[in-house]
Structure formats: structure tokens, C-alpha cells
Chains A and B, each alone.
Chain A
């Protein structure tokens, strides 16, 4: 049963990833990326990370996708050329490189030994994530808020109309 869920989710993910890579229209690319996001949220649920699945749905599928669609509708596409094209020579050069870099990592994952932590999580997943986030990783959490504030100010400055 577990492998059935794995096969369904990973097949969905792979089909969506190929749609993201090879579709021509940017709106279709965004929709395929939304499908990727939903598949990854399902994988997170399967792995037992409920908080990250919810955050994936909230942040990616609501905020980021809507932002992409907004920018695509902002740009007047009739002024720019219609078909964007794909770098064919770079693609042919990149395929063996990616294969060569995929195979050693896969070999190391399959044959390596993973570390084992003695800690056993007794409480729920969301509780332990929140406890770890607000005790051990409180300073990176604050730094993340500063990064978000800086990104907001930078986006406002970049997207402002020139006088």
C-alpha cells in the first residue's frame, strides 16, 4: 500500500516536472508548477510532515503562484515575441553532465550509511517542530523575518514607476 502511494505521487510529480520543463506558454508552465506543488504536498503528508504540507499549500500554491500569474498578466505579451524558444545545444550538452552527476549521488544514497539519532519523537509532529523552532532555532527565525522585510522593501523599490 505504501509503495502504491509512492508510485502514484512520484508519477504525478514526474509528469508535472516534465510539463514545467517543456511547455511553451508561460501560463501553462505556471499551471504545471502548481501541479508539482500539490504533488509535493502529498509527498510531505505521506512522509508525516503535516505542518510542511500545510505551509507548502499556503505559501506556494496560494502566495507564490498568484504572484507569478499577476506578473504574467502585468507584462504586455503582444509587445514581446511570442515563442520563447529552448537552447537546444546547451540542452544536448547538459544531458550527459546531469546524468553523470545523478548517478554518483544515487550510488552514494543507495550504498551509504545514514546517521541514526537516538531521539524518539513522542509528541506530535507539529508540536515538536514548533518546539525546536522556537527554542534551538529562534535566532535564524528572527533572521528569516528580517530577510522577508528586506525582500518586501526591495520589491517595492524595484517595481516602483520611474518618475
Chain B
């Protein structure tokens, strides 16, 4: 077994752990951290498949994923601060404005 295949399996595990964290956590900040875990899993998969195929395009796409992660964390944390300032809570189970 080549070592890149093992890293691809690790990246799948990392992505699914991020999904699991998004499902089980309540705090908005830890939800954002779980989303970052998913993006890191995608990055790891891109780079290891890149090493396996022998090109360089996967690293370029991982660079774009890094950019999107930075933009996502800026917008997400701005939303967390705005929600807390307007409503006064930080759990995803309390945001029921459109649900109830």
C-alpha cells in the first residue's frame, strides 16, 4: 500500500469527523471550527491525490480552498458577533426565529 492512499483515508476520516462535529455541537463557534475541519480534510485529500498522480494542480486548488476558508471564517464570526449582539445567545438550538 502506498503512503498516499493511507493519507487519502485519513483525509476522508477528517472530513467525516468535521461533519460529525457539525451534527453534534451546539455552540456556534465550535460549529465553525468543525467546518474548518471539513475544509482541512478536503485540502489533505487534494494534496495527497496530487502527490499520487504527480501533478501540481491539486495544490493550486488547495490554495483556493484556503482562501475560501479565510473568507468563510470572517463572515461566520461576523455573523456570530451580530447574532450575539442583537439576540444575546450563542447556541444553535436557540435560534428559532424562523422555525417556531
Contacts and interface: CB of A to CB of B under 8 A. Distances in A.
Interface of A: 2-3, 6, 10, 13-14, 17-18, 20-21, 26, 29-30, 33, 36-37, 40, 43-44, 47-49, 51-52, 55-56, 59-60, 63-64, 67-68, 71-72, 74-75, 79-81, 84-87, 90-91, 94-95, 98, 101-102, 105-106, 109-110, 114-117, 119-121, 125, 128-129, 132-133, 136-137, 140, 144, 147-148, 150-152, 154-159, 161-162
B47 A98 contact: no
8 contacts: A30-B33, A52-B43, A71-B29, A94-B19, A137-B60, A144-B67, A151-B72, A154-B75
Contacts of A106: 9, 12
Given A40-B40, A56-B66, A116 B27 contact: no
B95 interface: no
Contacts of A30: 29, 33
Looking at chain B's contact residues, the main secondary structure is helix
Contacts of A161: 85
Interface residues of B, number: 71
Given A18-B17, A133-B63, 17 more contacts: A6-B7, A13-B10, A13-B14, A20-B21, A21-B24, A26-B30, A47-B7, A59-B69, A67-B77, A74-B81, A87-B24, A87-B25, A109-B5, A114-B49, A125-B59, A154-B78, A158-B78
